[in-house]
Structure 1
Amino acid sequence: MIVALLNQKGGVGKTTLALHLAGRWARDGRRVLLIDADPQGSALDWSQQRASEGLARLFGVVGLPRDTLHREVGELARHADHVIIDGPPRVAGIMRSALLACDVVLVPVQPSPLDGWASAEMLALLDQAHTFKPAITARFVLNRYPARTLIAKATADGLADHDPPLLSNHIGQRVVFAEAMRTGRVAEELAPDSPAAREMIALAAEIEGLRS
């Protein structure tokens, strides 16, 4: 399964979600490759930080921030159970290529009226990709979700009947995710019994179920 995390808006948590999904599936015994398609290279930075900490590699991370991604991912995916593409903000060519490469596209959104979750250009790119690859499965995923706030409820309600639909599992605003990004770890390593770890386990299982 090839999963792409895409949103034109930066700062919605694509890289954090990509790394934690990769870590979850790797810890479950899957062969996982993460493709860092963002020129900023945050996933590669995380991988280098992990190596500098002397930690065993959880999964492979390669940088591929170019619009020929869809032509190259097939060879890279041959020896992986899951490939995760961490997409860039505001680079339409790479986003379009990632859409053509993936089986599942996740659009992370935050509970904010200013977050641009209903990006017309993002949805237009998805419509274009469906023309060439009708089998793509698309879902919104609500990230940094502060439970029991009016704005969080309004965002979730607004996406409830949207197309593409919203995944039922949300990821909360958790300090452990920032610590994981800083130290080259995932939340399950830092706090295996934490809400962050449990949320990511549930989200990964729901995503796998989309293609079963």
Structure 2
Amino acid sequence: MTKVIALLNQKGGVGKTTQATNVACWLHKQGFKVLLVDLDPQGSATEWSETRDSDDDFPVVSMGTKVARDLPRVAGGYDYVVLDGAPQIKDLAGPAVKAADLVLIPCQPSPFDIYSCATLVELIQARQEVTDGKPLAAFVVSRVIKNTHLSREVREALAEYELPIFDAHTTQRVAYADCAKGGSVMDLPETDKARQEIEALGREMLEMLNHG
């Protein structure tokens, strides 16, 4: 059965597309059949896919506010569908939450980013109340700057939302920016720190989906 993973946060610049594209690449590298769905009208994930030069790749399609209705028409046969959410578009968050089996909320260690999650968390929790706890949901701390005060306190602040917080996280690394034009950290050596972060995120993500 196809599993749908949505990366959502109505605040821009939190690392949704970076995590969505790299997680999709990780899943593909594990041998799964993957579809990446670009919900952002700016089309960042679509542009990313158009610059890729790999012959062994997965499709990327654009979709809008009808994703909950339209996704089943194209998702058949895929193991995982990854939704790359759009910022500042409330009409997309609801349908994406409805379509998802798991919602990941990338959040930077910033008070503004933490506060901005409130509406999305309320939307997810309202959905969970009427669907026996579905979708599963968790925070992923993104773009961490090592050894900073905010990075140490973000988990305590996010805990007030009463959603799980992944141990896996991403840090502020040049590798992510370098891969934004069609690349992936999964193309880097196994010893690369950014690649290891995405691998850890992928493993924790599947653990939640399989045992959530």
Shift of the alpha carbon at 1:130? Answer: 2.2
Residue deviations 1:140-159 (CA, integer Å, cap 9, x gap): 10001122211100112222
In the TM superposition, 1:50-129 aligns within 5 A as 50=52, 54-64=53-63, 66-129=64-127
C-alpha separation in 1, matches of 2:190 and 2:42: 29
Please state whether the residue corresponding to 1:141 is helix, strand or coil. strand
C-alpha separation in 1, matches of 2:191 and 2:58: 22
The match for 2:162 is: 163
Q: Which residue, 20, 34, 39 being the options, matches 2:36?
A: 34
The match for 1:190 is: 188
The match for 1:5 is: 7
Shift of the alpha carbon at 1:160? Answer: 3.9
| TM-score, length of structure 2 as denominator length | 0.92
The answer on whether the counterparts of 1:100 and 1:133 sit within 8 Å (CA) in structure 2 is no
Report the AA paired with residue 11 of structure 1: G
Matched-pair identity in %: 35
The match for 2:50 is: 48
The match for 1:19 is: 21
Shift of the alpha carbon at 1:21? Answer: 0.3
The answer on whether the counterparts of 1:70 and 1:101 sit within 8 Å (CA) in structure 2 is yes
Unaligned runs of 5+ in 1: none
The match for 1:143 is: 142
Please state whether the residue corresponding to 1:34 is helix, strand or coil. strand
Unaligned runs of 5+ in 2: none
Please state whether the residue corresponding to 1:159 is helix, strand or coil. helix
Please state whether the residue corresponding to 2:37 is helix, strand or coil. strand
Please state whether the residue corresponding to 2:139 is helix, strand or coil. strand
Residue deviations 1:163-185 (CA, integer Å, cap 9, x gap): 11211111111100000002x11
C-alpha separation in 1, matches of 2:110 and 2:163: 18
Report the RMSD for the aligned CA atoms in angstroms. 1.5
| TM-score, length of structure 1 as denominator length | 0.92
The number of residue pairs the alignment matches comes to: 207
Shift of the alpha carbon at 1:133? Answer: 3.0
Report the AA paired with residue 104 of structure 1: L
Shift of the alpha carbon at 1:57? Answer: 4.4
The match for 1:210 is: 208
The answer on whether the counterparts of 1:3 and 1:84 sit within 8 Å (CA) in structure 2 is yes
Please state whether the residue corresponding to 1:211 is helix, strand or coil. helix
The answer on whether the counterparts of 2:188 and 2:195 sit within 8 Å (CA) in structure 1 is no
C-alpha separation in 1, matches of 2:116 and 2:139: 10
The answer on whether the counterparts of 2:36 and 2:61 sit within 8 Å (CA) in structure 1 is yes
The match for 2:178 is: 179
C-alpha separation in 1, matches of 2:40 and 2:128: 22
C-alpha separation in 2, matches of 1:154 and 1:116: 11
